[in-house]
Amino acid sequence: MTQRHDTDAELEAALRRSRVLEDAPEHLIQKALDLWQPRTAGRAAPGGGLRRRLAALLSFDSAGLTPQAAGLRSAGDDTRQMLFSAEGRDVDLRIGPMSGAGWQVGGQILGPDETGTVELSCGDFHAETPWNELSEFRFDAVPAGTCRLTLRSADWELELPGLQIPG
């Protein structure tokens, strides 16, 4: 075994040489650039940016529960409650009969957002409303059928799965 007696300057030069990174070959750089696809889908948000589309997960649905299982003392309330979750926010949705004709669909967004709008479409019925300072919203006289509820804030959009309003 031979013993080397390098000076500090020689060790420093060797260390500097070992820290130099070589460029990737041009054909690999071009291949990586060719893999990139620009984002084309998405709705323009106010201010020109794109809204993120969020996916909601149904975490609670009171349909089919007995009043006792839902924590109620009597069976007098026909309101259905659903709770959806999506990226740090929850949507508490309630569907109940109105005293006249139709149904009432209302809810509250629980999360970090301050302003936004809610759009409800059920067949020929279309309505849009902003949520209030408590992030609550409500639609009255909603007809029976399959409905689409879409919530929008400044930078995201959340469409809840098809909602069945009883007939």
Give the start-to-end residue ranges of the domains of the chain.
Answer: 52-165
Q: How many helices (H) and strands (E) does the chain have?
A: 2, 11
* Among candidate residues 92, 97, 100, the one with its CA nearest the CA of residue 144: 97
Q: Which of 41-50, 57-66, 145-154 has the lowest mean pLDDT?
A: 41-50
* pLDDT > 90: percent of the chain: 37
Specify the CATH architecture of the domain 52-165: Sandwich (2.60)
Mean local confidence (pLDDT), 146-155: 92
Mean pLDDT of 20-49: 68
Contacts 24+ apart (CB under 8 A), 50-55: 51/152, 51/155, 51/156, 51/157, 52/155, 52/156, 52/157, 53/156, 53/157, 53/158, 53/159, 54/86, 54/87, 54/156, 54/157, 54/158, 55/86, 55/158
Top-confidence residue, 136 or 2 = 136
Q: Which pLDDT score is estimated for 139? A: 96
Helix (H, G, I), strand (E, B) or coil at 146: strand
Report field, pTM of the whole predicted structure over 0.85: no
Report the distance separating Cα 138 and Cα 125, nearest Å: 14
In this predicted structure, what is the pLDDT of residue 5?
61
pLDDT above 90: residue 14: no
Distance between CA atoms of residues 89 and 59, nearest Å: 12
Dist CA 69 CA 23 (whole Å): 65
Q: CA distances (Å), 37 to each of 18, 27, 54, 151, 159, in order? A: 35, 18, 20, 28, 25
Of the pLDDT bands very low, low, confident and very high (cuts 50, 70, 90), residue 37 is: low
What pLDDT score does 41 carry?
A: 46
